[in-house]
Amino acid sequence: MINNILSPVGWQILSVAACAAGACGILGAQLVLRRKAMMGDAIAHGVLPGLVIGFVLSGSRDLLPMMVGALVAAIVVSTVAEWLRDRAGVDAGAALGVVFTSLFALGIILVEIFARDVDLDPGCVLYGMVELAPIHQVEWFGQSLPRSLTPVLGAFVINIFASLLFWKEWKLCAFDPELARASRLPFRKLEQGLLVLVAITSVACFEAVGSILVIAMLAVPATIAHLLCNRMSTMVIVSTLAGILSAVLGTIGAEQFNTGVPGMMATSSGLLLMGAIFLAPSRGLIPAASRRLFWALRVEMEDILAESYLLSEGTDETGNIDASEPREALPPARLTFSSMLLRGSAGMLLGVRGYLRDGVPVGRGKRIARALLKKRGLWRRFAAERLGLASDHLDEPAHRIEHHLDDEFTRRIESGLDSEES
Amino acid sequence: MISPNTLVILLGTTALGTCCGIIGALMLLRRRALLADAIAHSTLPGICIAFLLANSRSVVALGTGALVSALVAAALVAWLPRVSRIRKDAATACVLGVMFGAGIALVGLIQRSGSGGSAAGLDGLLLGRTAGMLRSEALIFGCAAIVMSLIVFALRKELLVSCFDPRFGTSSRIPTRSIDLLQTSLLAVTIVIALPAVGVVLTAALVVIPAASARFWTDRFDSLLRISALLGAGSGILGTLISTSHPDLPAGPVIVLSATGFFAVSLLLAPRRGLLSRHLLARSRSRKRTIRHLLDAILDAQLQGQMQIAIAQIPESAHCTDLRSIEYSVQSGWVRREGDLISLTETGRIRATRARKALEIWREWLTSEASIDRDLIDLDEVEIEKILSPELIDTLQRSIDERERS
């Protein structure tokens, strides 16, 4: 359908898709922060009767009456669901489910009754017609632009302005609704306004990209951003960018696989989400797992060095640890496959780096072992003198904590102990 | 009368409603009502892949595909919040959006890659076609309903525990995780079976709405399941009957709207939780409060030596110069009325004295024993003389006395 993404036609499709995705991405961040991610789904389904009634009353496929109808329906969804939750004690998810599925059913019946002979089939609302965007053109500032760009671009701009305007208020509402209520902010109006914006955005995007895309783009880019960011400002920006990136990838994918743009956009946003789950720098599964692995390797290497140092020297010259002194038996480490593998690879790494030769730590290895033993001794003293632990409770925590003491902390313990003695 | 064809549809939708009602009640209790929506949407890619692989529209192939992808979706929704900071709602929405989108992309792929002619029906799954229900389908629904009822009946204790106190379940050797898996699989199977008949969104509706309606009627697990199943079956029957008498109405949405109708009725009329009974309860509370104030005010007057008091003399601050409650107290035999003058009858005096004594003791006990600030106690809200039995009042009195002595 799209022959070349770089052709003018390809650009126009891409611009419509990207604007829609960006508009949804901005608001999606707000929804995800409020744990209302399913609101997108609910509104996308629940506006159907509003669309149909707007269409029937106006008798045309003009955007405005349908938009008004959809807005009313969206407000009905959110208000009734909230009312059911707060006043009638229905579970929040169930309340939303009852309202939007009922409205959707009503919408389908209305379509069957009123709109059977005209082309307002539910499929059109679902899939959208982004590929047909270049067919209807409008003149804008002397440029010929696709007609469906107008609503999505409008929604994008409105959302940007609204976000900037209500930035502080929305932030408060998202993170501390109790404070927002208590500080005389028009809390309900702000939240309703957000949902109205969601409704406007969904309706603007329906014609261009279809409701599936609205559902996916309200939820997925924001979730990606939620994985990557810790601040609302970066989250909103990343969410918007992730939406636009899915639009680009989706358009290219649709061209490659010869299928529809909205579906491919949702799919590529899903792939991006998977990427974020596995690779996000601080929270991704793979970085977190590798950090744990490196830490375990370091601990294992330090332990081996310290043990072999004690064995080879017989005693520690710092005088803190005496190998000949009968020590309490540490609980034997469980010999599992992974622990053996870890020990083996730690030993091999030490050999390769030249820290350990014939079971004797040399050079840097020796220094590491000494530093570790010093820390162990320090902690034992600290625990005995300051924390008042019994002498048979000193070794095990010292063994564990010695790996976590950095230089600064060691110095502080040292000076603390010294000042006590003096 | 009902034609054989209608009878088949009627039986099918009834069985379907029962299935959805039972599983929906379980999902509602676990606060996973919207999982049904996500799973229903997520069946689409599985169906498409199965179609591409098997290159046929056989029910078995497509059903298997749908089931696999439904289970994948359920697993993802459970897995994402465990391994990352994604919350449950975002996980549900993401899985729904992405998998449904992928399904739509696959539908597009199939339609445009030539083999499209036979794929035209795939997107019919979105809305379903109840009116074309086959005898075999109705039979499957019936079997599914029976099997599911048996499973749930056999495991009701385990399900109960895993819904309300999974930790207790784990500690008493109930395999809560397997039970969890079983519930999700039952949901997936129900949805997959129901898809061709009522379509994606409406399946979710049939799972969510009857359960939410049933919750108004009961607080007990067993009866919740039973009522939810009944309401599901009822919506199936009502919807089918309406849609057969109005042939231009599609059956699926009508069934859902019947379920919504039952929901509205439950919302209004259910005892205790329904809006009407809540309203009545609030009114009777406020009436009782007013009457207590009234009796108290007359008792005050009596203690000051006036045996009768004019209505106009009752202080405004007592909030009880409401003629209807005076009327009511006269009818109940607590107050005697002679023209503008009212006085307490013997029963009324006993009632007022008792209420006043209970109130005083309770207030005294709260401030002295429970050390709650006197100003923070809103004693108007409680009918304290009903909560405190005479024995309890004695006990409280004793404890206050002891405290004062020491």
A115-144 pLDDT, tens digit each? 665 555 555 555 566 666 666 666 666 666
Same domain, A95 and A215: yes
Residue with tokens 């609205």: A214
Which residues of chain B lie closer than 8 angstroms to A226, CB-CB?
85-86, 90
Chain A, nearest residue to B203 by Cα: A101
How far apart CA A170 and CA A236 sit, in angstroms, is: 12
Instruction: Look at chain A and report how many structural domains it folds into.
Output: 2
All structural domains of chain B, each given as residue ranges with its CATH number in brackets, are 4-206 (1.10.3470.10), 276-406 (1.10.10.10)
Residue A300 lies in a domain: yes
Same domain, A85 and A112: yes
Looking at every residue in chain A, the average pLDDT score rounds to 83
pLDDT at B262 over 80: yes
Chain A, nearest residue to B85 by Cα: A227
Same domain, A80 and A208: yes
B123 interfacial to chain A (CB closer than 8 Å) = yes
Q: Which of A45, A98, A216 sits opposite B98 (nearest CB)?
A: A216
Q: Report the candidate in B100, B75, B73 with the shortest Cα–Cα distance to residue A214.
A: B100
Same domain, A318 and A398: yes
CA A115 and chain centroid, separation: 41
> Are A219 and B103 within 8 A, CB to CB?
no
Q: What is the mean pLDDT of residues A148-172?
A: 91
Chain A, nearest residue to B213 by Cα: A90
Phi, psi torsion values for B201, nearest 5 degrees: -70, -35
Q: State residue B81's pLDDT score.
A: 92
CA distances from B35 to A110, B24, B38, B77 (A): 27, 10, 5, 8
Q: State residue A390's pLDDT score.
A: 80
Q: What is the mean pLDDT of residues B103-120?
A: 71
Chain B residues 225-264 with a CB less than 8 Å from chain A: 248-250, 252-254, 256-257, 259-260, 263
Q: Which of A35, A91, A213 sits opposite B101 (nearest CB)?
A: A213
Same domain, A292 and A265: no
> Are A216 and B209 within 8 A, CB to CB?
no
A262 interfacial to chain B (CB closer than 8 Å) = yes
Same domain, A244 and A303: no
Tokens representing B31 are 């606060």
CB A277 within 8 A of CB A284: yes
CB B206 within 8 A of CB B12: no
Q: State residue B223's pLDDT score.
A: 94
Phi, psi torsion values for A334, nearest 5 degrees: -70, 130
Residue with tokens 């918007």: A240
Of A256, A281, A306, the position where a domain reaches its end is: A281
A222 interfacial to chain B (CB closer than 8 Å) = yes
Count CB neighbours of B371 within 10 A: 7
CB A128 within 8 A of CB A209: yes
CB B110 within 8 A of CB B47: no
Chain B, nearest residue to A256 by Cα: B109
How far apart CA B16 and CA B143 sit, in angstroms, is: 10
Chain A residues 26-55 with a CB less than 8 Å from chain B: 32, 35-38, 40-41, 45
CA distances from B16 to A278, B202, B244 (A): 40, 12, 17
A226 interfacial to chain B (CB closer than 8 Å) = yes
Same domain, A308 and A229: no
CB A20 within 8 A of CB A250: no
Same domain, A16 and A158: yes
Tokens representing A86 are 């707060």
Local confidence band at B380 (pLDDT 50, 70, 90 cut-offs): low
At a CB cut-off of 8 Å and minimum separation 6, what does B371 contact?
A: none
> Are A94 and B212 within 8 A, CB to CB?
yes
CB A398 within 8 A of CB A367: no
Q: State residue A1's pLDDT score.
A: 45
At a CB cut-off of 8 Å and minimum separation 6, what does B236 contact?
A: B10, B13, B14, B15, B16, B17, B18, B255
How far apart CA A109 and CA B254 sit, in angstroms, is: 8
Q: Which of A91, A122, A263 sits opposite B105 (nearest CB)?
A: A263
Q: What is the mean pLDDT of residues A69-92?
A: 89
A20 interfacial to chain B (CB closer than 8 Å) = no
> Are A101 and B208 within 8 A, CB to CB?
yes
Residue A3 lies in a domain: no
Q: Nearest CA of chain A to the CA of B301: how many Å?
A: 41
Selection from A89-103, A307-321, B128-142 with the highest mean pLDDT: A89-103
CA distances from B340 to A175, B277, B313, B314, B336 (A): 59, 35, 10, 11, 11
Which residues of chain A lie closer than 8 angstroms to B33, CB-CB?
91, 93-94, 97
Same domain, A397 and A297: yes
Same domain, A296 and A266: no
Chain B, nearest residue to A271 by Cα: B98
At a CB cut-off of 8 Å and minimum separation 6, what does B298 contact?
A: B309, B314, B335, B342, B343, B344, B348, B352
Chain B residues 204-223 with a CB less than 8 Å from chain A: 204-205, 208-209, 211-212, 215-216
Of A258, A281, A304, the position where a domain reaches its end is: A281
Tokens representing A217 are 């783009």
Selection from A242-246, A371-375, B272-276, B386-390 with the highest mean pLDDT: A242-246
B279 interfacial to chain A (CB closer than 8 Å) = no
> Are A35 and B201 within 8 A, CB to CB?
no
What is the residue range of A276's domain?
A: 8-281
A166-191 pLDDT, tens digit each? 999 999 999 998 898 888 888 888 88
Using H for helix, E for strand and C for coil, what is the string for chain B? CCCHHHHHHHHHHHHHHHHHHHHHHHHHHCCCCCHHHHHHHHHHHHHHHHHHHHCCCCHHHHHHHHHHHHHHHHHHHHHHHHHCCCCHHHHHHHHHHHHHHHHHHHHHHHHHCCHHHHHHHHHHHHCCCHHHCCHHHHHHHHHHHHHHHHHHHHCHHHHHHHHHCHHHHHHCCCCHHHHHHHHHHHHHHHHHHHHHHHCHHHHHHHHHHHHHHHHHHCCCHHHHHHHHHHHHHHHHHHHHHHHHHCCCCCHHHHHHHHHHHHHHHHHHHCCCCCHHHHHHHHHHHHHHHHHHHHHHHHHHHHHCCCCCEEHHHCCHHHCCCCHHHHHHHHHHCCEEEECCEEEECHHHHHHHHHHHHHHHHHHHHHHHCCCCCHHHCCHHHCCHHHHCCHHHHHHHHHHHHHHHHC
Same domain, A334 and A397: yes
A227 interfacial to chain B (CB closer than 8 Å) = yes
Chain A residues 241-260 with a CB less than 8 Å from chain B: 253-254, 257-260
* Residue in A1, A27, A86, A108 to test binding to B, most B beta-carbons within 10 Å: A108
* Residue in A47, A101, A278 to test binding to B, most B beta-carbons within 10 Å: A101
B94 interfacial to chain A (CB closer than 8 Å) = yes
Q: Report the candidate in A342, A363, A340 with the shortest Cα–Cα distance to residue A300.
A: A342
How far apart CA A159 and CA B173 sit, in angstroms, is: 53
How far apart CA A151 and CA A158 sit, in angstroms, is: 10
- pTM score: 0.84
How far apart CA B96 and CA A41 sit, in angstroms, is: 9
Q: Which of A37, A45, A265 sits opposite B201 (nearest CB)?
A: A45
CB B164 within 8 A of CB B1: no
Q: Which of A94, A108, A215 sits opposite B97 (nearest CB)?
A: A215
Q: What CATH number has the domain bearing residue A110? A: 1.10.3470.10
Residue A2 lies in a domain: no
Lowest mean pLDDT, pick from A156-160, A191-195, A304-308, B386-390: B386-390
**How many residues in total does chain B contain?**
406
> Are B93 and A37 within 8 A, CB to CB?
yes
Q: Which of B28, B106, B250 sits opposite A91 (nearest CB)?
A: B28
Q: What is the mean pLDDT of residues B322-351?
A: 81
How far apart CA B86 and CA B228 sit, in angstroms, is: 31
pLDDT at A266 over 80: yes
B98 interfacial to chain A (CB closer than 8 Å) = yes
* Residue in A30, A91, A112, A220 to test binding to B, most B beta-carbons within 10 Å: A91
CA B185 and chain centroid, separation: 23
Q: Nearest CA of chain B to the CA of A380: how many Å?
A: 37
Of A229, A251, A281, the position where a domain reaches its end is: A281
How far apart CA A4 and CA B343 sit, in angstroms, is: 95
Q: State residue A394's pLDDT score.
A: 78
Which residues of chain B lie closer than 8 angstroms to A112, CB-CB?
248-250, 253
Q: State residue A99's pLDDT score.
A: 95
ipTM of the complex: 0.85
Chain B residues 16-75 with a CB less than 8 Å from chain A: 28, 31-34, 36-37
Q: Report the candidate in A166, A65, A60, A74 with the shortest Cα–Cα distance to residue A118.
A: A60
Using H for helix, E for strand and C for coil, what is the string for chain A? CCCCCCCHHHHHHHHHHHHHHHHHHHHHHHHHHCCCCHHHHHHHHHCHHHHHHHHHHHCCCCHHHHHHHHHHHHHHHHHHHHHHHHHCCCCHHHHHHHHHHHHHHHHHHHHHHHCCCCCCCHHHHHHCCHHHHHHCEEEECCEEEECCHHHHHHHHHHHHHHHHHCHHHHHHHHHCHHHHHHCCCCHHHHHHHHHHHHHHHHHHHHHHHCHHHHHHHHHHHHHHHHHHCCCHHHHHHHHHHHHHHHHHHHHHHHHHHCCCHHHHHHHHHHHHHHHHHHHCCCCCHHHHHHHHHHHHHHHHHHHHHHHHHHHHHCECCCCCCECCCCCCCCCCCCCCHHHHHHHHHHHHHHHHHCCEECCEECCHHHHHHHHHHHHHHHHHHHHHHCCCCCHHHCHHHHHHHCCCCCHHHHHHHHHHHHHHHC
> Are B201 and A101 within 8 A, CB to CB?
yes
B127-181 pLDDT, tens digit each? 666 666 777 888 888 888 899 999 999 998 888 988 888 888 888 888 888 888 9
> Are A257 and B109 within 8 A, CB to CB?
yes
A375-385 pLDDT, tens digit each? 888 888 888 88
A333-377 pLDDT, tens digit each? 667 888 888 888 888 888 888 888 877 888 888 888 888 888 888
Q: State residue B391's pLDDT score.
A: 77
Which residues of chain B lie closer than 8 angstroms to A88, CB-CB?
216, 267, 273, 275
Same domain, A276 and A291: no
The β-bridge relationship of strands B335-338 and B341-344 is antiparallel
Chain A residues 126-165 with a CB less than 8 Å from chain B: 126-127
Residue A1 lies in a domain: no
